[in-house]
Structure 1
C-alpha cells in the first residue's frame, strides 16, 4: 500500500494540565508546547537543575515495573509517561516539548482522555517535513514464560492485544484494532488503569501509588469492582492494556508500520520488543511518507542508541 504524502504535525499552541502524580500523591503540572519538525517528543523538567531535557525514546527507559520511566527522575527524568505518550501518538502528534514541574506526569483520571481533550482543544498544524515511519520488514518476538509479544510486517499501524487474568471480572479479553486518531479517541482513550486493592495496599507500604484512588483507577476487591460507576466498557481492562501498548511503543521514536501482538503483555514486555527490534537492523527500515526509499543507512544512529536491559520486574497496570 502506498503511503500518503503525510506531513509531520505539532500543536498549534501550548496547553497546560494540572493534577497529581499517582505514585507521589503530590501536585503535578504539565504544559505541552509546539516543537520544530524532527524534534520528536521531549520532556523538559522545569524544576530540575543541570540537563533537564529527556527524549521520549526506548533507549533511555530506566524502569517499567510500575509504569514507564525515562531517564532518572531524581536528576531530570520523568515517570508515568505512557498515557500521555499514547495520546500524543494516538492523535498524530509527531513533535512536542512536554514541560513538567516534577518527576511524574499528572495521572488525571487514569486514562488518556484529558490529554486527548487538551490536544483537540489546541489543535494540530502541519509542518513542512514529511512524516517518517519505522517499517517492520521481519517479525521480531520476545517470550518470557507464558507471556509473549511480537512485531510483524503490516502496511499500517495495527494491534492485537490479549490479556488473561484469573480474576473472573477480567478473565480473558482480546482487542484487535488499527491505530487511527478516531479509533484512539473513541475506543481507547477513556480506558482507565486498574489494579487490586491488595496490590495497592502493598504499594502504599512501599511508598508507591500514594495518589491512587477511585478517581483515577478501577479498583478490584476480589471479584468485585469497587468504583460506584463500574467500568466504562465490559472490556475496559484490555482497552487500557492496549492504550499502554500504544504509549510504550511510541518510544520507538517514530510511528510503526507493522502489527503488534501481545499475550499477557505490559510495560516491560512492550519495551522488550523495542529492544529486540533495534538489535536487529535487518528487521526494519525508516521510510518517509509518500516514498518507498529508505531514509538513512543500516544502524541509523537516531534510533539505534545505547541498548538498556529490559528486565525491570513485574508489570503493574
Structure 2
C-alpha cells in the first residue's frame, strides 16, 4: 500500500476547548516519509513537534503535545481522523495553541479531509506490527494487544452513572467503518463542568461540543447520536492516542476502562520494548495500481 497525503490544503477555525477563544488550524500536504507534524505558530516563531508518544505532555481533559517552548492541546480527534483515513504525511499548522474542538467529535474534520481529497505518493506505507501479545494494566485499566493484520478495537467502559453503565463495542477500523465512531462526541458530568469553569478551565466546553450528564441523565436537548455514543467516543480517543506512535500501528486491542493517560503509558511502554513486541515493515501491495485512486477522493501523485 502506498503512502498518502492530502490533495488540497484545509483551513478551519473554531472554539478552543481550553481557552474558549477562536483558534485556527491549517492542514497541508506533506512530503513522503514526513509523517504527521504539528507546526505551532506564536508571535515570535514556529515550533515543530512530531507525533510521538514521548512528546505527550498532559492528558487532562484531552491529549496535549509539547516541548520546552510550546504545546498544543486536544490533538486526538484530528489524529484519529488522519489515521483512520490513511493519511501518512501532513503538516498541521496551529494558531492558538490548541485544535478547535468543533462539535466534540471527529466528524467535522473527517468531512473536511474527504472534501479536500487524498492522494497517493510514490512510496510504500511503513507500519509497526505487533508481533506477540502484550498486556498493560494499572489501576483497573487494561489494554491487551495482540498480533492482527489491521487495526481492531474491542472496547469496554463501565461508569456507575445510570446514563452510561457498561457499554462494549468491537470494531475493525477502516476508512469505511470510521464513520461509526467519528461522530461520537466527548462527554463529561455537569458537576465536573461546573468545577472546571469555576477554575477558568475548559472555558470553551458547552452543550454545542460535548455531551453533558446531570444527576438525572443527559442534559443536551437533542439527546444522544447513538445509544452507545460513550463507548464509541472512547474508541475514537483510543485511535487518536494510538496514532501518536508516529506511524500506523497494526494489532488487535482489547481495552477496558482506559483513558488518555493510560493509552499514552501503554504506547510508551510498547515503544520502549519495541524490539520485543514490534516489527517495522513496508506494506507491499499485490497490485500497486489498486491503491490509486483511494476512496475515489483523488488520483494525483506526489
CA deviations 1:50-78 (Å, max 9, x no partner) are: 45111121121111122101114x83321
Match of 1:126 in 2: 120
Match of 1:11 in 2: 6
Q: Give, in whole Å, the separation in 2 of the partners of 1:46 and 1:132.
A: 29
Match of 2:277 in 1: 283
Q: Give, in whole Å, the separation in 2 of the partners of 1:49 and 1:77.
A: 14
Cα deviation, residue 88, structure 1? 0.7
For the Cα contact (< 8 Å) 1:133–1:257, is it kept in 2?
Answer: yes
3-state SS in 1 of match to 2:241: helix
Q: Structure 2: any 5+ residue segments left out of the alignment?
A: 286-302
The equivalent position to 2:204 in structure 1, one of 211, 225, 229, is 211
CA deviations 1:94-139 (Å, max 9, x no partner) are: 1100111111100000000110011001100000110011110122
Q: Give, in whole Å, the separation in 2 of the partners of 1:262 and 1:49.
A: 42
Match of 1:52 in 2: 47
Match of 2:64 in 1: 69
Q: Give, in whole Å, the separation in 2 of the partners of 1:54 and 1:206.
A: 29
CA deviations 1:194-223 (Å, max 9, x no partner) are: 000101111112221100000000000013
Match of 1:201 in 2: 194
For the Cα contact (< 8 Å) 2:162–2:217, is it kept in 1?
Answer: no
Cα deviation, residue 268, structure 1? 0.8
Is 1:40 the counterpart of 2:51 in the alignment?
no
TM score, norm. by length of structure 2: 0.91
Match of 2:238 in 1: 245
Q: Give, in whole Å, the separation in 1 of the partners of 2:118 and 2:42.
A: 28
3-state SS in 2 of match to 1:33: strand
Equivalences, count:
284
Provide closer, same or farther for how the CA distance between residues 256 and 27 of structure 1 changes in structure 2, counting only shifts above 3 A: same
- Within-5 A mapping of 1:77-116: 77-116=71-110
Cα deviation, residue 166, structure 1? 0.2
Q: Structure 1: any 5+ residue segments left out of the alignment?
A: 1-5, 292-317
3-state SS in 2 of match to 1:232: coil
Is 1:261 the counterpart of 2:254 in the alignment?
yes
Q: RMSD over aligned Cα, in angstroms?
A: 1.3
TM score, norm. by length of structure 1: 0.87
Q: Give, in whole Å, the separation in 1 of the partners of 2:254 and 2:12.
A: 32
Cα deviation, residue 46, structure 1? 2.2
Q: Give, in whole Å, the separation in 2 of the partners of 1:23 and 1:198.
A: 17
Provide closer, same or farther for how the CA distance between residues 42 and 78 of structure 1 changes in structure 2, counting only shifts above 3 A: same
3-state SS in 1 of match to 2:27: strand
Provide closer, same or farther for how the CA distance between residues 83 and 243 of structure 1 changes in structure 2, counting only shifts above 3 A: same
CA deviations 1:241-263 (Å, max 9, x no partner) are: 00000000001111111011211
